[in-house]
C-alpha cells in the first residue's frame, strides 16, 4: 500500500489532534492510497481483513466494509435501546444501514427522512422502516406527532456536509460556506438537535470537516442532550454484520444500483454525487 505525503498538521490545526490514518482518505488522514485498483496489498491483513462467510454474495459483503459498519457505529454508540423511537436523517447507504441496525437493536419505531422517492421506497421495502419526505411535511412536527409530543429518543444524522434544505436556510448556508464563514452545512444536525426529545441522543455519522454556523448549542445544553459522532469502527462491527448477513438479517444488494467496470470510476462517482438515474451506490468490478 503506497503512502503519499501525510499531513497530520491539517487535522491538528482543525481538531486539536491528528486522529490517525485511513486508506484512501486524503493527505490529512495519513495519505494512504485507497482500494480502487485491480489488486491491492493489505498491510497487517490479519487485523484489517475479514473472511466472508460462505453463501454471502459479493454485492452483500461489499457493504460490510463501509455503509453497514457506519450505520452500526451510529445506532450502537447512540445506545439505541429496545422500545426507542429512532429518527434517521438521510436515506443513502449509511442512513439505511443505521435504520436497520436500530431495528435489530430493538427500536420500536424507526423513521428515515429524505426527499428522494427511490431511496425512501428502498427504506420501506428493504429495511422495513417508516419514512418522511422532508419536502412534503414539517419533519419536527411529524416526529412530535409520532412520539406523543416528546420527540425521538435517538436522532441519527447520516447526511453530512452537503446537506440540502428547501427553505431560505439553504441559500444562507451556501453563501456562508462559499465565503468561508463556515466549512460545512449542518442542516440536518440542526434539525435533529431541535427535534430530539429532552435527555435524548443525537449522533452525527455524516462527515464534517471543520466549523459550522448557526449551531443550536443552547438546545444541546438546555435539553440535556448527548451529542456524539464518530468515524465508523469497522473492526468492532464487521464480524457481527457478516454473521447477520449470512442469516439474511442484513440485506444490501439493493444499494448497488449501478454496477460498472473500474475504468468507469469517474462516471460512477459523478452519478453517485449527482444522484443521476436514481444512483444510490456505484459499484466497480475490476475486469468486468
Ligand atoms: N462516519 C463515517 O465513518 C462515515 C462513513 C461513510 C460515510 N459517511 C458519511 O455519511 C454521510 C452519508 O453517506 P451516504 O453514502 O449515505 O451518502 P448519500 O449522499 O448517498 O446520502 C445522503 C442522503 O442525505 C439526504 N439529505 C440531504 N439533505 C437532507 C436533509 N436536510 N434532511 C434529510 N436528508 C437529507 C440526501 O438526499 C441523500 O439521500 C456522508 O456525509 C458520508 O460522507 C460517514
Task: Give the pLDDT confidence of 23-41 residue by residue, as tens digits.
Answer: 888 888 888 888 788 888 8
Please, what is the angle between helix 187-195 and helix 139-146, to 10°? 30
Q: Would strands 226-229 and 258-261 be described as parallel, antiparallel, or unpaired?
A: unpaired
280: which residues sit within 8 A by CB, 6+ positions away?
Answer: 92, 93, 118, 119, 122, 254, 255, 256, 257
According to the model, what pLDDT value does residue 170 have? Answer: 83
pLDDT of residue 2: 57
Q: What confidence tens digit (pLDDT) does each residue in 157-169 have? A: 999 998 998 888 8
Cα–Cα distance between 250 and 245 in angstroms, integer? Answer: 5
| pLDDT for position 124 | 98
- CB distance 187 to ligand 1 below 6 Å: yes
Asked if 286 and 38 count as a contact pair (C-beta separation under 8 A), the reply is: yes
Going from the Cα of 160 to the center of ligand 1, the distance in angstroms, rounded, reads 5
Mutation test residue for ligand 1: of 74, 160, 171, 230, the one with most atoms within 8 Å of CB:
160
Q: What is the pLDDT of residue 51?
A: 95
Nearest alpha carbon, ligand 1 atom 24? 90
Give the model's pLDDT for residue 186.
92
Q: Would the CB of 204 count as within 6 Å of ligand 1? A: no
Residues in the chain with pLDDT values less than 70: 1-4, 288
Domains in the chain, ordered, with CATH? 1-49 (no CATH), 67-229 (3.40.50.720), 259-288 (no CATH)
Give the tens place of pLDDT for each residue, 87-122. 999 999 999 999 999 999 999 999 999 999 999 999
What do you get for the CA distance between the two ends of the chain, in Å? 23
Residue nearest to atom 8 of ligand 1 (CA): 206
What is the rounded CA–CA span in Å between residue 137 and residue 183?
28
pLDDT score of 3: 59
Q: What nine digits make up the cell of 72? A: 452500526
Amino acid at each position: 500500500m503506497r503512502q503519499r505525503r501525510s499531513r497530520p498538521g491539517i487535522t491538528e490545526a482543525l481538531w486539536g489532534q491528528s486522529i490517525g490514518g485511513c486508506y484512501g482518505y486524503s493527505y490529512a488522514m495519513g495519505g494512504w492510497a485507497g482500494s480502487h485498483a485491480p489488486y491491492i496489498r493489505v498491510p497487517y491483513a490479519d487485523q484489517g481483513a475479514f473472511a466472508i462467510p460462505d453463501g454471502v454474495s459479493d454485492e452483500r459483503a461489499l457493504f460490510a466494509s463501509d455503509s453497514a459498519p457506519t450505520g452500526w457505529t451510529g445506532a450502537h454508540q447512540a445506545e439505541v435501546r429496545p422500545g426507542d423511537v429512532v429518527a434517521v436523517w438521510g436515506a443513502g447507504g449509511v442512513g439505511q444501514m443505521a435504520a436497520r441496525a436500530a431495528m435489530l437493536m430493538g427500536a420500536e419505531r424507526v423513521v428515515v427522512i429524505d426527499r428522494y422517492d427511490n431511496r425512501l421506497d428502498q427504506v420501506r421495502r428493504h429495511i422495513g422502516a417508516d419514512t418522511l419526505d422532508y419536502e412534503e411535511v414539517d419533519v419536527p412536527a411529524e416526529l412530535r406527532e409520532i412520539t406523543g409530543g416528546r420527540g425521538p429518543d435517538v436522532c441519527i444524522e447520516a447526511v453530512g456536509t452537503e446537506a440540502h434544505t428547501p427553505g431560505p436556510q439553504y441559500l444562507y448556508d451556501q453563501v456562508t460556506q462559499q465565503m468561508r464563514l463556515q466549512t460545512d452545512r449542518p442542516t440536518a444536525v440542526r434539525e435533529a438537535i431541535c427535534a430530539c426529545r429532552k435527555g435524548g441522543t443525537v449522533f452525527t455519522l455524516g462527515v464534517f470537516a471543520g466549523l459550522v454556523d448557526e449551531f443550536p448549542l443552547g438546545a444541546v445544553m438546555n435539553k440535556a442532550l448527548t451529542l456524539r459522532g464518530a468515524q465508523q469502527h469497522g473492526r468492532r462491527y464487521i464480524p457481527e454484520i457478516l454473521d447477520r448477513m449470512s442469516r439474511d438479517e442484513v440485506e444490501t444488494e439493493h444499494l448497488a444500483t449501478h454496477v460498472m467496470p473500474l475504468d468507469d470510476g469517474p462516471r460512477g462517482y459523478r452519478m453517485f454525487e449527482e444522484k443521476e438515474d436514481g444512483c444510490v451506490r456505484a459499484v466497480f468490478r475490476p475486469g468486468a
